[in-house]
Amino acid sequence: MNDSSVTKSSTPAKPPFWRDPDKRALAFQGVFLLLVLFVIFTLIRNTMVNLEARGISSGFGFLGTAAGFRIAETMIPFDTSSTYFDVFLVGLLNTLKVSIIGVFFATIIGFVVGVARLSNNWIVSRLAAIYVDTLRNIPLLLQLFFWYFAVLRPLKKPEEADSLFGMIFLSNRGLFFPAPVYEQGFGLIVLAVVLAIVGSIVLKIWAKKRMEATGQRFPVFFTSLGLIVLLPLLAAVATGFPISWDIPELAGTRIKNFVGGQVLTPEFSALVFALAIYTSSFIAEIVRSGIMSVSKGQSEAAFSLGLKPSWTTRLVIIPQALRVIIPPLTSQYLNLTKNSSLAAAIGYPELVSVFAGTALNNTGQAVEIMGITLMVYLFLSLTISSLMNWYNASKALVER
């Protein structure tokens, strides 16, 4: 027997594909993919058949037709001749406005309450605990109804509104206050603000390098605050204060209300209050757990170096706690953004209320409108997740 015949006979025969784990797994995945595609195809086909049977045309042509109704609160010009695409933009902008403002206040309140939970002052820590345990155990919708129906709607009528300096008015139609009217030359003030912000960022970078090189700290906060206040003030003096104020005034004969100025409507205020306070109770617990995850030895080491308690918290504890805080904080931001859809319960014109509600009822384009609304919320959630993941990576511990 020669060498080639020996080698050929010693090579094991390949098993059939149904006994090969890799090929078998590949076959199962292919079958599963075909089933998913079949289900999607069936759903789309049945939907198209049902729409055709009910005489409803599909497509996005309705976005260019006139809506024919008004929206009470918009960030862009809108009237009865505006299109359904404008309705979509109004709803989207209002959703973004409520979400951004809600996240801002929820973060501040949550951090303050979270730190207060760990206070050595018994009364402060107990009050913070009561705040958290009370608000996070009451459904958000009930809190929204409380702020709207029990607090803001029972306020006085416009003709009996409470006034502050004859310029700020609080009634059941909202909080009215003077609106700025920008005149020629105001752009120079805006440019001064931008330059002050850029200068503050450059100053912070320089101060950080200086501290790493020499160990000496520079008062970045107060210097930046001075830049941001004084530079625009100098620009305003140089241009002769190119700004005036539109003061709200009571108008109307049978139904009175304020005209002019800016207004925070009861619907908007109730929604922001409910979202910010409810979410802050969860953020407070996240902050508390994050701070407690930092070893006590870190504080003792900072005190032994002579750092003040406030510096120890700001420079030693919080930066380390952020690595624990940021991931669950991202979930709370996502929840707040999605919970803004509860605005439909009190009539605030955000995306679900005005586009997936009024526009859908008027046009009957359920598939297109719900598809757009779902994709918008998916896009917002993925964007928030990406930004927070980037921030989390920037705060992660870099190992050598």
Mean pLDDT of 286-300: 89
Q: Are residues 378 and 335 part of one domain?
A: yes
Residues 44 and 386: their CA atoms lie apart, in Å, by 31
Give pLDDT tens digits for 22-62. Answer: 888 888 899 999 999 999 889 888 877 887 777 767 778 88
| 71 within some domain | no
Are 268 and 152 in contact by the 8 Å Cβ rule? The answer is no
96-115 CB burial, b ≥16 within 10 A, e <16: bbbbeebbebbbebbbebbb
Q: Are residues 279 and 382 part of one domain?
A: yes
| 27 within some domain | no
State residue 8's pLDDT score. Answer: 52
| 53 within some domain | yes
Residues 136 and 126: their CA atoms lie apart, in Å, by 16
| 21 within some domain | no
| 44 within some domain | yes
Nearest to 247 by CA among 264, 263, 262, 261: 261
Q: Which residues constitute the domain of residue 46?
A: 33-61
Summary mean pLDDT of the chain: 87
CATH number at residue 130: 1.10.3720.10
Percent of the chain at pLDDT exceeding 70: 96
Mean pLDDT of 185-190: 88
| 171 within some domain | no
Q: Are residues 317 and 375 part of one domain?
A: yes
Q: Are residues 279 and 146 part of one domain?
A: yes
Residues 60 and 369: their CA atoms lie apart, in Å, by 9
Q: Are residues 57 and 140 part of one domain?
A: no
Q: How many domains does the chain have?
A: 3
| 25 within some domain | no
Q: Are residues 291 and 327 part of one domain?
A: yes
Q: Is the pLDDT of residue 263 over 50?
A: yes
State residue 1's pLDDT score. Answer: 46
Residue predicted with more confidence, 206 or 254: 206
